[in-house]
Structure 1
Amino acid sequence: MRQFTAVVNPTAGGATSAAALLGVARLLREAGAELETEYSRSLAHARELARQAGARDRVVLAVGGDGMAGGIGGALSGTGALLGLVPAGRGNDFARALELPTEPAALAEVLLRGAPRPVDTIEVTSAVHDRTVVLGSVYAGVDALANHHANHARLLRGTASYYAGALRAITTWRPTRYRVTVDGEEHAFTGYTTVAANSGYYGSNRLIAPAARVDDGLLEVVMIHDAPRRLFFALMNELGSGAHVRRPQVRVLRGREVRIEADRAIPYGADGEVEAVVPVTARVLPGALRVLC
């Protein structure tokens, strides 16, 4: 029987995380599994708690959203430890890419008896931020600015904060000259964003990279070129289905290493948490993490 350590951040979405864990925890214990809960003070502390639990051969449960999943998954990347996800955030995009159930009984069954699946992770490096490892995607441009606004929204929560953040970011965005190098080949364009995606989803169920796979050893690189704002809003609406990739303003490449530079200090993000400015390099780490799914 598996032994679990759940890592929860009580200050970031604590009530939602606690509620999500409660139902699953009861089912795990009723099945005879041992479960301990660790409360983190920060994402850095959560990573340390995860490493300690993984070193004791326990299944580490990341309880929260994509920031928590990416932080803990990144900490366990390359260690051989086993990760389980209890989705309890605004987006839960990596859990969605893994097609994890949300109903407690079905999720508990996955955690108790699901087979470990090796998935890729992303090593992120920049001049102004320490090396980190995340799960879902690295994005530089208007989406990173939108995520910053969503994270700092005072009156709105959940999906509403994403929509409000996106509207604020788009209406103030100045087209930027990008230089994107994919496996040594440079691509220059003027536009809104560049996304290096391991998971197809980001930003709360937006299918930014429909062809992305979490276990193919490649990153899907989505570049959105300059367009009139009305067209850009139409393109954003198509993110729900992935139809935006058929537009001429969108270019998609694939590669193992992606460096994103720009003609000004635009922001980049990773799994909703890392906030810094370009240049940034994303490199895929094939099969570096084992996840229950």
Structure 2
Amino acid sequence: MRQFTAVVNPTAGGSAGAAALLGVARLLRAAGAELETAYSSSLAHARRLARDAGEDGRVVLAVGGDGMAGAVGGALSGTGAVLGLVPAGRGNDFARALGLPADPAALARVLLESAPRAVDTVEVTSAVHDRTVVLGSVYAGVDALANLHANNARLLRGAASYYAGGLRAVASWRPARFRLTVDGTEHTHGGYSVVAANSGYYGSGRLVAPGARVDDGLLDVVVIGEAPKRLFFTLMNELATGRHVQRPQVTVLRGKEIRIEADRDVPYGADGEVDAALPVTARVLPGALRVLG
């Protein structure tokens, strides 16, 4: 029987982190599993808790949103320890990419019975931010600005906060000139944003990279180029289904390593939490993490 340590972000979605764990914890314990709970005071603290639990041979449950999943999963990347997810944030996009069920009973069965699968992680480095490892995506441009607005939203939650953040970001955005180096080949694009995606989803269920797979050893690089702002709002709506990649304003590249630079000060983010400025390099770490799901 598996032994679990749940690392909880008590602020994810308000009190949703602790609340989401309660139902799952009851079912895990009823099945005979041992479960201990550790509350994190920060993402750095969550990483330390995760590494300690993983070194003890315990399955580490990341309870929270994509920031918590990325922090805990990044800490376990390359260690051989096993990650489980209890989604309790605004986006839960990596859990969505894994196909995890929302029903507590079904999720408990996954955590108790499924065999760990190897998935890729993403190493992120820049001159102004320490090296970190995340799970979902690295995004630069209007996406990062929109995510910053969403994180600061006080009255809106979930997809609504991301949509409102996107509207605010686009309204003030000036197109940038991006220089991308993908596996040594340089590409230049002007426009709104660049997303280096391990998971196909970001921004609370938006299918930004329909072809991305978490276990293919590659990043899908989606570039949203220059377009009238009214068309960009249409593109935002098409992110729900992935139809935006059929537009001529959207370019999709694939590679193992991408460096993103710009001709002016442009923000980037990763897994909803890392906020810094370009340039940044994202490199896939194939099969570096064992996860239940």
TM-score interval w.r.t. the shorter chain? over 0.9
Q: Give matches, 1:115-134, under 5 Å.
A: 115-134=115-134
CA distance in 2, matches of 1:15, 1:127: 35
Paired amino acid for 1:183: D
Q: Which runs of 5+ in 1 are unaligned?
A: none
Contact 2:12 2:90 in 1 (8 A): no
Q: 1:146 maps to what in 2?
A: 146
1:23 matched residue in structure 2: 23
1:98 shift after superposition: 0.4
Partner of 1:68: 68
Partner of 2:229: 229
Question: Residue 58 of structure 1 corresponds to which residue in structure 2?
Answer: 58
Structure 2: distance between partners of 1:277 and 1:42: 22
Q: Which amino acid aligns with 2:49?
A: L
Partner secondary structure for residue 281 of structure 1: strand
Aligned residues: 293
- SS of the equivalent of 1:138 reads strand
The whole-number CA distance in structure 1 between the counterparts of 2:11 and 2:285 is 31
Q: In structure 1, how many angstroms separate the alpha carbons of the residues matched to 2:12 and 2:86?
A: 15
Q: What is the correspondence of 1:1-293 to structure 2 with a 5 Å cutoff?
A: 1-293=1-293
Residue 92 of structure 1 contacts residue 204 of structure 1 at CA under 8 Å; is this kept in 2? yes
* Cα distance in 1 between the residues matched to 2:11 and 2:214: 29
Equivalent residue of 1:178, what SS? strand
> SS of the counterpart of 1:283?
strand
Structure 2: 5+ residue stretches without partners: none
In 2, the alpha carbon distance for the partners of 1:14 and 1:173 equals 30
The 3-state SS of whatever aligns with 1:199 is: coil
> Is the Cα contact below 8 Å between 1:50 and 1:76 reproduced in 2?
yes
Contact 2:195 2:221 in 1 (8 A): yes
Is the 2:194–2:223 contact (alpha carbons within 8 Å) kept by the matching residues of 1?
yes
Q: Distance in 2 between matches of 1:112 and 1:264?
A: 49
- Say which is worse superposed, 153-162 or 212-221, in terms of deviation: 153-162
User: What residue identity is the alignment partner of 1:144?
Assistant: A
Per-residue deviation, residues 37-90 of structure 1 (Å, max 9, x unmatched): 000000000000000000000000000110000010000000000000001111
Superposition RMSD in Å:
0.7
Distance 1:216 1:12 in 2: 30
Quote the Cα distance in structure 2 between the aligned partners of 1:80 and 1:57: 9
Q: Deviations over 1:70-123 (max 9, x none)?
A: 010000000000000001111110000000001000000000011100000000
Contact 2:12/2:88, CA 8 A, preserved across alignment: no
Residue 8 of structure 1 contacts residue 14 of structure 1 at CA under 8 Å; is this kept in 2?
no
Quote the offset at 1:176 in angstroms: 0.3
Aligned residue type for 1:282: A
One-letter amino acid of the counterpart of residue 221, structure 2: V
For 2:229 and 2:160, the matched residues in 1 are separated by 21
When the two structures are superposed, what TM-score results if normalisation uses the length of structure 1? Answer: 0.99
Deviation at 1:14, TM superposition (A): 4.8
Give the conservation status (yes or no) of the 8 Å contact 2:11–2:17.
no
Q: Which whole-Å CA distance do the structure 1 matches of 2:40 and 2:213 have between them?
A: 30
Amino acid at match of 1:150: A
Alignment deviations for residues 162-220 of structure 1 (CA, whole Å, 9 cap, x no partner) = 11111100000000000011000000011000000000000000000000000000000
Q: CA deviation at 1:160?
A: 1.8
- With normalisation by structure 2, the TM-score equals 0.99
Q: SS in structure 1 opposite 2:15?
A: helix
- SS of structure 1 residue aligned to 2:239: helix
- Return the offset for 1:11: 3.1
User: 1-side partners of 2:156 and 2:240: how far apart?
Assistant: 21
| SS in structure 2 at match of 1:120 | strand
